[in-house]
Amino acid sequence: MATMHDVARLARVSVSTVSYVLTGTRPISQATRDKVLAAMAELDYQPNAMARGLASRRSRILGLLMPMDERGLGATETAFVTGAAAAASAAGYHLVLSPVGGGDLDDLRRLASQRMLDGVVLMEVQLADERVTVLRDAGVPLVLIGRTGDTSGLSYVDIDFEQTVREAVAHLVGLGHRSIVYVNHSAATLASGYGPALRTRDAFVAAMAGHGLEPVMIPAEDSAAGGRAALAAAFAQAPELTAVLAMNETAIFGILGELTGRGLSVPDDVSVVSMVTSPQVAELATPALTAMTSPGSAMGRIAIEALLRHLDGPGDERHQQLLPCALETRGSTAVPRRPAPDTPGRPPTDGG
């Protein structure tokens, strides 16, 4: 592999001159620059990423800011990351995953002030997300995977939760289900203003009302124990339930376990649909889960491509796009064995 010294020797210049051509830190005559570039081409010399970044005044590093807990990344979250990483790599950028959440604003300010990142993709977005304000104030280009409540002047790609929930409910109603419970993320997550949890809650109310059905929502901690507790609460509030719609991948396995513990069969006694789920997770269950499949990889790619357009363009272009999840029917949904009676609509409960 050719080195900078090899280039200098072939071009008959000093190593420092080669460095100046790469970084642009000192003016070099066009004749000398041409000799150095010709030597690089002849030797197939590949300058390192930092040198290329200095020459273009860019680090060639993009940040993916995604708060994480002790559970780490599941298969569904990983799809967002791999889609973003592949798009960044294809454009000659490195992608750095940083677990910066809303409680780490000082860390985020330090990260932004260091100017190590050319731009940022922000995940796990809340309706009022202070990270957006910090990054905008610091002048860091950003794109959201998710949406704040006010999206003025922001670029984002997000799931179309309204369409996704509407299609999930329509699938269950079409099979004959009338008592459907939605298991959401935790009460604390809802209270924090987490966009997907709030948008799906509202979409579920609207979808059920469209069919003249009662919307019952149960919050669940992100754990198997949380899923078991949520299902117990669901039966307490809707004893005739025949279907569960869930957007909580960790809890859903507790839901399935609780159904088995109660002697209930999936899907004959209770149908289950998992929302915003990867096929890998859906296939882990027995029976495999009918799911609204997350477009995670596509969203990661679109977010990076939009960010790169910000970096390369005039900076005032905004990309705003919604993608629905796709229904993939597997073994966890079927016509109910015991149809539930129609009940008059009433406001959704919160499990409290």
Task: List the CATH number of the domain containing 23.
Answer: 1.10.260.40
Say yes or no: 171 and 210 in one domain. Answer: yes
- pLDDT by residue for the chain (352 residues), tens only, comes to 778 888 899 999 988 888 777 766 577 888 898 898 898 888 888 766 555 555 556 678 999 998 876 656 778 888 999 999 999 999 989 999 888 765 678 888 888 887 788 999 999 999 999 999 999 998 899 999 999 999 999 999 999 999 999 999 999 999 999 999 999 999 999 999 999 999 999 999 999 999 999 999 999 999 999 999 999 999 999 999 999 999 998 899 999 999 999 999 999 999 999 999 999 999 999 999 999 999 999 999 999 999 999 888 766 679 999 999 999 999 999 999 865 444 444 444 454 4
Alpha helices (H) along 98-223: 105-113, 130-137, 161-175, 187-191, 195-210
State the amino acid at position 189 in one-letter form: T
CA dihedral 150, 156, 157, 161 (to 10 degrees): -10
Question: Number of helices and strands (H, E) in the chain?
Answer: 14, 12
**Is 13 a domain residue?**
yes
Residues 173 and 111 in one domain: no
Q: How far apart, in whole angstroms, are the C-alpha atoms of residue 296 and residue 159?
A: 9
Residues 191 and 282 in one domain: yes
In a domain, 10, yes or no: yes
Q: Which residue has the tokens 């329509």?
A: 170
Token pair for residue 335?
A: 């016509």
Residue 334 lies in a domain: no
Distance CA 87, CA 240 (A): 47
Q: For residue 323, what pLDDT is reported?
A: 97
> Global pTM?
0.79
CATH code of the domain in which 283 resides: 3.40.50.2300
- Spatial CB neighbours of 111, under 8 Å, sequence gap ≥ 6: 63, 98, 100, 117
Residue 183 in any domain: the answer is yes
In sign, the C-alpha dihedral spanning 127, 124, 219, 330 is positive
Whether residue 335 lies inside any domain: the answer is: no
Query: From CA 322, how far away is CA 157, in angstroms rounded?
Result: 6
Residues 155 and 167 in one domain: no
Decide: helix, strand or coil at residue 120: strand
Domain that holds residue 31: 4-56
**Do 276 and 255 have their domain in common?**
yes
The rounded distance, in Å, linking the Cα atoms of 308 and 87 is 10
Residues 92 and 208 occupy one common structural domain: no
In angstroms, the CA 115 to CA 136 distance is 13
Those residues with Cβ within 8 angstroms of residue 46's Cβ, 6 or more apart along the chain or in another chain: 1, 2
Same domain for 210 and 301, yes or no, is: no
| Whether residue 288 sits in one domain with residue 165 | yes
User: Is there a single domain that holds both residue 138 and residue 215?
Assistant: no
* Amino acid occupying residue 137: D
* Distance in angstroms (rounded) separating the CA atoms of residues 120 and 320: 16
Q: 46 and 165 share a domain?
A: no
Q: Is there a domain that residue 341 lies in?
A: no
Q: Rounded CA gap, 116 and 95, in Å?
A: 12
Same domain for 142 and 218?
no
Instruction: Assess whether 138 and 200 both reside in one domain.
Output: no
Does the residue 333 lie in any domain?
no
